[in-house]
């Protein structure tokens, strides 16, 4: 089974991203054929700095590798290296309803937030995202709940394409959304009623994957707790509940087990234990990251190899799509029995 996910090129990955997304990518390597695409073309739909984009792309590549994505077992690549994504975006734009794009939440939010130009790229963002996945006929897309609308759109685009051009066949696979259960619950340390994010309550509420141990300890020591003194999950104890969930996620155990273990502990002791565990969880990632990030040529060669694999898969889909849409020269059919040689178009 093919599993596809797209990752924004930023070095600011936080604990919620790590537990909810990145660690799921790592475990998906055992379930199927993973494709992990760093989406630099999505990143240019809002104002950005070109030199900075390159750096953040390397940061992200190094984080993914440090987390345990293994280029021998999955495909890690840069979106802009595989031209099929943009070509498919254009082809799919003709089966995408304009009004639907204009109503997408992310478009409307960003449109409102934008002081400069609202680019057409921002509007087409979801079509590019659909092309990312559909180009590989991926069955599963592990991304957060916040991507629901994008997933629905890509499913509809695939269905409409198949209905219009498929002649009863599933030319494009309609992918499933796989929402991680755990990461979705990692909340901001300063405001545990909202999800941990890069834009939340600020630095002190968010633990970054690349934070130094000292910084992690400080953030956890300063995490808001609730009234009362019991380490127990409860609706009126969002702060402690969050810390219990974090500890369970990091240990790979159950919140109930954490709760039992710390039933007699005071808040301070409990927070220190959570900090120690989070440091132990992230420190090896940060160390591997430092090493990997220092060798840009090695990162480039991993990305290049990944792009080669990806292109081979995507170009097959594109050949089908072009053929079905009647675009370009009719497809040359491979001569039977002759390994891989292709007939030239009869003259
Ligand atoms: N829009 C996604 C996000 O912001 C990133 C993304 C781009 C993506 N292409 C994708 C996710 C394809 C899943 C599949 O997180």
Mean pLDDT check: name the lowest of 113-122, 161-170, 237-246, 282-291: 113-122
The residue whose C-alpha atom lies closest to atom 11 belonging to ligand 1 is 6
Average pLDDT over residues 284-295: 97
Residues 6+ apart with CB under 8 A from 9: 38, 39, 40, 43, 53, 56, 57, 59, 60
Distance, CA of 72 to chain centre: 20
Task: Give the lowest-confidence range in 4-8, 228-232, 293-297, 307-311.
Answer: 228-232
Q: Model's pTM, two decimal places?
A: 0.91
Tokens at residue 261, please? Answer: 């273990």
Q: What is the mean pLDDT of the chain?
A: 93
pLDDT at residue 11 above 80?
no
Which pLDDT belongs to residue 336?
Answer: 61
Nearest C-alpha neighbor of 67 from the set 215, 309, 283, 278: 283
Check residue 117 and give its pLDDT: 85
Ranges of each domain in the chain: 2-180+295-334, 203-292
Residue with the smallest CA separation from ligand 1 atom 5 is 6
Answer yes or no: is pLDDT of 335 > 70: no
CATH number of 2-180+295-334: 3.40.50.620
What is the Cα 280 distance to its own chain's centre? 24
Tokens 């141990």 found at: 213
- Residue 69, phi-psi category: left (phi > 0), alpha (psi -120 to 50), beta (remainder): beta
Mutate-to-test residue for ligand 1 from 3, 5, 6, 28, highest number of ligand atoms within 8 A of CB = 6
| CB environment 129-152: b (16+ within 10 A), e (fewer) | bbbbbbbbbbbbbbbbeebeebbe
DSSP H/E element including 262: none
**What is the per-residue pLDDT for 227?**
87
Answer whether 237's CB lies under 8 Å from 223's CB.
no
Taking the C-alpha atoms of residue 247 and residue 279, their distance in angstroms, rounded to an integer, is 11
**Strands 140-142 and 176-178, sheet pairing:** parallel
* Residue ID of nearest Cα to ligand 1 atom 4: 8
pLDDT of residue 116: 81
Contact 76, 86 (CB under 8 A): no
- Which residue's CA is the nearest one to ligand 1's atom 6? 6
| Closest atom, ligand 1, to C-alpha of 132 | 12
- Tens of pLDDT, residues 52-95: 999 999 999 999 999 999 999 999 999 999 999 999 999 999 99
Which residue's CA is the closest to the ligand 1 atom numbered 12? 6
Q: How confident is the model at residue 334 (pLDDT cuts 50, 70, 90)?
A: low
Question: Residue 275 above 80 pLDDT?
Answer: yes
Domain 203-292 in the same topology as domain 2-180+295-334? no
Cβ-proximal residues to 179 (8 Å cutoff; 6+ apart), any chain: 142, 143, 144, 145
At 346, the pLDDT band (50, 70, 90 cuts) reads low
| Substitution site in 16, 42, 92 for ligand 1 pocket (most atoms within 8 Å of beta carbon) | 42
Percent over 70 (pLDDT), the chain: 95
Query: Residue 150 CA: which ligand 1 atom is closest?
Result: 1
Q: How far apart are the first and last CA of the chain?
A: 40
| pLDDT score, position 347 | 46
Pocket of ligand 1 (CB under 6 A): 4-6, 8, 39, 42, 129, 132-133, 141, 143, 147, 150
> What class does CATH assign to 203-292?
mainly alpha
**pLDDT in the model for residue 183:** 64
């Amino acid at each position: 089974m093919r599993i596809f996910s797209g990752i924004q090129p930023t070095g600011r990955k936080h604990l919620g991203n790590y537990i909810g997304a990145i660690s799921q990518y790592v475990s998906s390597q055992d379930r199927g054929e993973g494709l992990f695409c760093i989406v630099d073309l999505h990143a240019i739909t809002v104002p950005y700095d070109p030199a900075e984009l390159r750096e953040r792309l390397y940061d992200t590549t190094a984080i993914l590798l440090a987390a345990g994505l293994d280029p021998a077992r999955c495909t890690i690549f840069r979106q802009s290296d595989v031209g099929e994504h943009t070509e498919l975006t254009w082809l799919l734009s003709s089966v995408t309803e304009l009004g639907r794009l204009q109503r997408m939440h992310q478009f409307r939010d960003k449109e409102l937030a934008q002081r400069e130009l609202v680019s057409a790229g921002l509007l087409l963002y979801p079509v590019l995202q659909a092309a990312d996945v559909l180009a590989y006929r991926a069955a599963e897309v592990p991304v957060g709940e916040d991507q629901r609308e994008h997933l629905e759109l890509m499913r509809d685009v695939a269905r409409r394409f198949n209905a219009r051009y498929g002649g009863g066949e599933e030319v494009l696979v309609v992918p499933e959304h796989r929402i991680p259960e755990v990461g979705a619950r990692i909340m901001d340390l300063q405001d545990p009623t909202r999800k941990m994010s890069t834009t939340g309550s600020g630095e002190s509420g968010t633990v970054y994957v690349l934070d130094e141990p000292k910084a992690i300890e400080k953030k956890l020591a300063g995490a808001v707790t609730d009234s009362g003194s019991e380490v127990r999950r409860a609706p009126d104890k969002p702060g402690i509940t969050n810390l219990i969930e974090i500890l369970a996620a990091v240990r790979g155990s159950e919140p109930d087990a954490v709760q039992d273990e710390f039933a007699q502990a005071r808040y301070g002791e409990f927070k220190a234990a959570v900090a120690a565990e989070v440091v132990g969880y992230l420190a090896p990632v940060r160390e591997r990251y430092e090493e990997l990030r220092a060798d840009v040529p090695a990162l480039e060669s991993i990305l290049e190899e990944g792009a080669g694999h990806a292109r081979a898969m995507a170009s097959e889909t594109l050949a089908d799509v072009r053929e079905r849409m009647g675009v370009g020269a009719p497809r040359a059919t491979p001569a039977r029995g002759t390994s891989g040689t292709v007939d030239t178009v009869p003259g």
